[in-house]
Structure 1
Amino acid sequence: MFFESFWLNCTVAIGLIAALTFDYVTKFFSYWYVRHVPYKISVPFYGGDYHRILGLRSNTQEINALYKSYKEDFVGSVKSRIPDLTVKSPDIVKEVLSTNFKNFKSRGLDLDKSRDVCLRNNLFYAEGEKWTLLRHGLVSILEDFKISEDDSLECLSGTNGDVNVQELLAQVLDIVFKNLLLKDVDENIITDLRKSVQERTLRDRFKSYLKSIFPSVYTLFGLSTLIGQPTNKIRKTLQNAQLSKKLSLVFKLDEKENIKKLKTQPDDLSFGVLSSFITEGYIPILNVLTALFYELAKNPEAQKRARISSEHLDAAIKETLRLHPPYSVITRKCVKTYKFLDSKMLIDKGVTVNVPIEALHRDNIYFKEAGDFKPERFLDSSVHGYTFLPFGAGPRKCIGEELSLQIIRTVASSLLKKFDVYIAMGKTPSQLALVDYNFTRVIDDDVWLRFKPIEC
């Protein structure tokens, strides 16, 4: 229907466009209301995600706030316009991660189509058949990795006094990971890749933020926040490395059908797998070890026990993982309409489910005096499995758990035998500053501690 007045037609058209736009962006705003689930109030174009989109809160802070604000087992929100659910009960967490994994097998990050070869070939971001192939292949490769106390600590000779813990530990881990992955290569590729990930320039921080908030936009523009494309030098080096040969053998890359299934080329796969060992292995391990020595420096008695007892060292490592988990939130996307067990709650395909790892770890209901560093709590095996999830759980549980713990245990034990660790007066922070970066939690500031050699 048209009117004789041009301006009246324009007014009506603008009104219709505005109404349709408003209807589109607010379509799911009543999603949780009709399901009788407590939820965060939404606003047009932002949903309930305005704190995160505007940078007022990180994803961890937002999920933790939702966890603490409601007593119910389910807490709803809307990310932009899509329903988002945070689950609080350990039994429901088990249901999502393990019991009914087939209904929540996707991470919901939608970054598996990224042009960045590191993301496309990273198990953390993979989906569907590629995830299955990558997981089986990488599990078999990890089984061959062995960690032993060697000469990796020789680089620390002369260490005495106040040191930057991250820099000190990086010297050791550079050697550990080179021996694991590229022992037959002369170039310092591990060190170079680690430094490029750690730089975290303002530009990289913004792209990481965009990837977390608007992953589809990140993918659309072909952005890269990790290590990017491998240089010609790295490609040539990797072609002759034992790691590439092992990958080629495990994934049968001499067969075109397997390359088609993996949706990648052999060189890209080698570089992607190598970079994933840095981003999903090296960096989280570095942060956990930094947090471990920070906590042990603040708790001399716990340090003394960890030095003389492997059981107490393991307990200290677990307590560090509880207080400072590498991943504070695990996400899963519902792949089809699902009704939660023992509940009338029904959610639709496409709804993202958040498992609040850090919030569970710091809940006084499950851990007495949850804010305190008390390793002895892990000497008791009665801790609920689905309230302690530093490596996740279920079929998508981190495949590097055993190797990571072995590296952390070996490095920590070796250093504790050689050094007493103390607070560096005026330099050690009163608390660790952790921030979200590329879906992980990293220590944002330098941590200084005093390392004093133990007299033999």
Structure 2
Amino acid sequence: MFFESFLLNLAILAALIVALIFDYVTKFFSYWYIRHIPYKLPIPFFGSDYHRVLNLRSTSDEVMNLYTKYPEANFVGVIKSRIPELIVKDPDVIKKMLSTDFANFHCRGIGLDKSRDVCLRNNLFYAEGEKWTLLREGLESLLNGMHREPDVSLHVCLSGTNEVVNVRELLSEILDAVFKDCLFEGKDDGFLLNNLRQSIQHRTFPEKLKSYLKEIFPSVYTLLGLTTISGFPSAKANKVLKESNIVLQIQKIGLVDKMNTKNKKGTKLENVTELELAFSMVSLFVTEGYIPCLNVITSLLFELAKNSEIQEKIRVNNSVNVDYLDACIKEVLRLYSPYSVITRKCVKAYEMPESKMILDKKITVTVPVEEIHKDLKHYKSPCAFNPDRFLESENEMRHTFAYLPFGAGPRKCIGEQFAMQTIRKVARAILEKYIIETTEKTPSQLSFVDHNFMKIIKDDIWLKFTPLEH
């Protein structure tokens, strides 16, 4: 005892604990101030991320707010809970981080690869180090072993369509057929794909809460042993997986043996089974492939319905001008980017180009993809749907890293080619048979909600499909 009074000692101890906690949570609050980087003022326990933590703004809205608040700055600083995070706006710096100096920023910094969640534990999006290398090689082999051009007969899904339709339901039916053919060679009755898709599109409150923890406090999500989809993979799901093309490719390249082999440090990368690995890969195809393709095609049809003159430019002599269709798809990917941000973690001290600022190890870097795509510095009339900007003459004038719908560098989306082929195939099949028009049910603009790092269309979109007269 320092003092004879017990209450006085207790009060002093409590004050010391409060002071230590306060020092811990505010330790990095001056990080951006001393580096002369404009930043959002933080508050204890929330940092400068309080709008997002309290669900007052989504990730996209928060990044947009900071991007536009400092229009002339190349960098904007934030404090995520208590850890500094840097928003990078300059395409030249982004190029160095994502490509040239990739060795310094090869991690996403999400910290979920040790989760008990089967959907995430062996998911390429969350993996790091040797595990990421092995999973990427495995997925490349899988993609090479699949149909490179989706060859599902689309007339079955489209036959009889001559009315106002729910576009998302129609496209879901079409994409179910495409992905079942590619992943399961038609052997899945839709059980696995449908359950995974619906769990993403129609989340219950507990699922939203888990998703929130996964994004804001990934360490808590891992510590509590939470899972994305309760009860999966089930016995029925495992039966489907055993007969899938994915398991066949995993066996072919011996990926499970490689994953379970000791690494250079003498410890196992993972204790994984074929079915767990296959389920992780299927969930990756759904979350990072199926859902983005569904949103892009929906957005494309929505814009073409609103812009009939552009829709007509796609059709030439009762056929589709594929080059102009590609320009339309690229414009949709710019205007409605599937991912609003790209994140990377600095793995060792790094000197920022030109500014000479030293970025410390473990600092997270955020690339504001959506805002760069809508920045007047890079695009004229950025909020307008104008596919002509992606024709060769205009495209050459733009900075390569001012267009990042699939990311860039070694961690660029591995399924870019497959996604573009799928989107092109489905859109072409529809546009060759139908004129797409708006209806009274069609909203004036699309509304999106954030789903972790991905954006999905919030409401059903209704459009009129009128058969073309050939």
Q: TM-score range by the shorter chain?
A: over 0.9
**246-255 vs 368-377, which deviates more?**
246-255
Amino acid at match of 1:185: K
CA distance in 1, matches of 2:57, 2:186: 45
Amino acid of the structure 2 residue aligned with 1:223: L
The correspondence of residues 38-437 of structure 1 with structure 2, limited to 5 A, is 38-70=38-70, 71-145=72-146, 146-188=148-190, 189-226=192-229, 229-253=232-256, 257-258=260-261, 260-308=268-316, 309-380=321-392, 381-382=395-396, 383-425=398-440, 427-437=441-451
1:27-71 deviations in Å (ceiling 9; x for gaps): 000001111111110111111011110111111111111111112
Contact 1:251 1:258 in 2 (8 A): no
Give the AA of the match of 1:441: K
The offset of 1:215, in angstroms, is 1.0
From the superposition, tell whether residues 248 and 316 of structure 1 become closer, same or farther in structure 2 (CA, over 3 Å). Answer: same
Contact 1:133 1:262 in 2 (8 A): no
User: Which is further off, 204-213 or 34-43?
Assistant: 204-213
| 3-state DSSP of counterpart to 1:331 | strand
Deviation at 1:256, TM superposition (A): 7.9
Deviations 1:386-428 (A, max 9, x none): 0000000000000000000000001000100011000112x11
Q: TM-score, normalised by structure 1?
A: 0.96
Give SS of 1:253's match. Answer: helix
Conservation of the 8 A alpha-carbon contact between 1:197 and 1:227: no
| Rounded Cα–Cα distance in structure 2 between residues aligned with 1:74 and 1:314 | 33
Tell me how far apart the structure 2 counterparts of residues 177 and 6 of structure 1 sit (CA, whole Å).
70
Provide the secondary structure at the position in 2 that maps to 1:452: strand
Q: 1:96 to 1:73 in 2, by over 3 A?
A: same
Contact 2:145/2:249 (<8 A) preserved: no
Give 3-state SS (helix, strand or coil) of 1:9's partner.
helix
Secondary structure of 1:168's partner? helix
Corresponding residue SS for 1:421? strand
Q: Deviations over 1:5-44 (max 9, x none)?
A: 1111111111111111111111000001111111110111
1:454 partner letter: L
Unaligned runs of 5+ in 2: 263-267
How far 1:87 moved relative to its partner?
0.4
Q: Is this contact kept in 2: 1:153–1:172, CA < 8 A? A: no
* Cα distance in 2, alignment partners of residues 110 and 164 from structure 1: 38
* Identical-residue share of aligned pairs (%): 54
TM-fit CA distance, 1:184: 4.9
Residue identity matched to 1:154? V
Distance between the aligned counterparts of 1:405 and 1:332, measured in 2? Answer: 25
Q: For the residues of structure 2 that align with 1:121 and 1:394, how far apart are their CA atoms? A: 21
Q: CA deviation at 1:226?
A: 4.5
Q: Give the Cα separation in 2 of the matches to 1:344 and 1:315.
A: 39
For this pair of structures, how many residues does the alignment match? 455
Partners of 1:46 and 1:254 in 2: CA distance = 43
Checking the alignment, whether the CA contact within 8 Å between 1:164 and 1:446 is kept in structure 2 is: yes
1:245-301 deviations in Å (ceiling 9; x for gaps): 111212343578449445421110011111111111000100011111011111111
The separation in 1 between residues aligned to 2:437 and 2:164, in whole angstroms, is 9
Q: Distance in 1 between matches of 2:89 and 2:219?
A: 27
**RMSD, matched Cα:** 1.6
Change (3 A) 1:332 1:247: same
Q: Is the 8 A contact 1:318 1:378 kept in 2?
A: yes
Residue segments in structure 1 that go unaligned for 5+ positions in a row = none
Deviation digits for residues 60-84 of structure 1 (CA, Å, limit 9, x no counterpart): 1111111111121111110110001
Shift of 1:186: 4.4
- Distance in structure 2 (CA, Å) of the matches to 1:252 and 1:201: 35
CA distance in 1 between counterparts of 2:404 and 2:271 reads 31
Q: Point out the more displaced range, 430-439 or 77-86.
A: 430-439
Q: Deviations over 1:85-115 (max 9, x none)?
A: 0000000111111111111111011011110
Contact 2:150 2:421 in 1 (8 A): no
Structure-1 separation of matches of 2:325 and 2:411: 27
Indicate the SS of the match to 1:225: coil
**Residues 12/359 of structure 1: CA separation in 2 closer, same or farther (3 Å cut):** same
Distance 1:318 1:256, change over 3 A: closer
Give per-residue Cα distances to partners, 1:151-198, cap 9 Å, x unaligned. 233122111111111001011000000111101514323233322332
Structure 1 contact 252–258 (Cα < 8 Å) conserved? no
Q: Distance in 1 between matches of 2:55 and 2:349?
A: 32
SS in 1 for 2:419: helix
- Range 35-44 or range 142-151, more displaced: 142-151
Equivalent pair of 1:166/1:290 in contact (CA under 8 Å):
yes
Alpha-carbon distance between aligned partners in 1 of 2:124 and 2:113, rounded to the nearest angstrom: 9
3-state SS of 1:296 partner: helix
Q: 1:258 to 1:184 in 2, by over 3 A?
A: farther
Measure, in 1, the Cα distance between the counterparts of 2:56 and 2:16.
Answer: 33
Do the aligned partners of residues 256 and 87 (structure 1) sit closer, same or farther apart at CA in structure 2, a change above 3 Å counting? closer
- Provide the secondary structure at the position in 1 that maps to 2:227: coil
Q: Secondary structure at the match of 1:450?
A: strand
Aligned residue for 2:432, secondary structure, equals: helix
Q: Hey, what's the Cα distance between the residues in 1 that align with 2:110 and 2:258?
A: 30
Question: Does residue 19 in structure 1 map to residue 16 in structure 2?
Answer: no
